């Protein structure tokens, strides 16, 4: 297993979250339109939340439980989003995908570029067998992104744990296995 500190795409540089990112994180996650589909993120989101998330990311990275990277423009600039894989979330060799994208860069292809990079690394470098993603049926952009990247809709879960967003609610459960990923490369 290769644990890459950084990933690069045509337009993005993906690296671990750092203290320098926290003001951008608070600003972007603090937007309800960004946070509303993130079940593990409190809203409103404040600097103390961001510091706790940084500490959690550092601990889970050390323990190799989560592979999380933030995305910034290759030429430098503000935080554009983040993507992560919670390892062994559904059994050995399987991960759960989570991501968010800053509202100013929605619909420009950055989400697909960022998620593709983290999934490629998950299969190629971490040796994953499958990656799953739970997506709110109302999140049209994330459902379309999953389909575009080769995930298949495995099921609609009628009462998915919505964490901080309220009582259990329906979720689309998307899954990309190694064979499906290999067809996309």
Residue ranges covered by each domain of the chain? 7-130
Count Cβ atoms below 10 Å from residue 151 Cβ, excluding itself. Answer: 26
Residue 6: the pLDDT is 96
Residue 185 scores a pLDDT above 80? no
Rounded to whole angstroms, the Cα distance separating 80 from 99 reads 11
Tell me the CATH architecture of domain 7-130.
Answer: 3-Layer(aba) Sandwich (3.40)
Count Cβ atoms below 10 Å from residue 82 Cβ, excluding itself. Answer: 25
Question: Any bridge partners for residue 96, and if so which?
Answer: 86, 132
CA angle 47, 48, 53 (to 5 degrees): 95
Rounded to whole angstroms, the Cα distance separating 26 from 71 reads 15
pLDDT digits (tens, 9 = 90+) for 122-178: 999 999 999 999 999 999 999 999 999 999 999 999 999 888 888 899 999 999 999
pLDDT digits (tens, 9 = 90+) for 154-169: 999 999 988 888 889 9
Residue 163: the pLDDT is 84
8 A C-beta contact, residue 68 and residue 4: no
Count Cβ atoms below 10 Å from residue 17 Cβ, excluding itself. Answer: 21
Q: What is the mean pLDDT of residues 90-111?
A: 95
Rounded to whole angstroms, the Cα distance separating 110 from 117 reads 11
Confidence of residue 105 (pLDDT cuts 50, 70, 90): very high
Reported for 106-113, long-range contacts at CB under 8 A and 24+ positions apart, including other chains, are 106/141, 107/141, 110/11, 110/12, 110/71, 110/80, 110/81, 111/81, 111/141, 111/142, 111/145, 112/145, 112/148, 112/149, 113/9, 113/10, 113/11, 113/12
Rounded to whole angstroms, the Cα distance separating 74 from 117 reads 14
Percentage of residues in the chain having pLDDT higher than 90? 89
Enter the tokens of residue 89.
């979330």
Residue 132: the pLDDT is 97
Residue 11: the pLDDT is 98
Count Cβ atoms below 10 Å from residue 6 Cβ, excluding itself. Answer: 9
Residue 86 scores a pLDDT above 90? yes
């Amino acid at each position: 297993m290769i644990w890459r500190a950084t990933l690069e795409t045509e337009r993005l540089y993906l690296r671990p979250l750092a203290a320098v990112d926290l003001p951008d994180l608070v600003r972007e996650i603090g937007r309800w339109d960004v946070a509303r589909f993130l079940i593990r993120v409190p809203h409103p989101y404040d600097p103390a939340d961001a510091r706790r998330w940084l500490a959690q990311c550092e601990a889970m990275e050390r323990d190799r439980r989560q592979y999380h990277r933030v995305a910034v423009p290759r030429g430098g600039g503000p935080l554009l989003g983040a993507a992560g894989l919670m390892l062994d979330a559904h059994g050995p060799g399987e991960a759960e995908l989570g991501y968010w994208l800053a509202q100013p860069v929605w619909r420009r292809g950055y989400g697909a570029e960022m998620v593709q990079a983290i999934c490629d690394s998950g299969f190629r470098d971490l040796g994953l067998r499958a990656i799953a993603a739970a997506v709110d049926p109302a999140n049209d952009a994330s459902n379309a992104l999953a389909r575009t990247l080769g995930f298949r809709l495995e099921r609609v879960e009628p009462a998915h744990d919505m964490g901080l967003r309220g009582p259990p609610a329906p979720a689309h459960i998307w899954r990309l296995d190694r064979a499906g990923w290999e067809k996309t490369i």
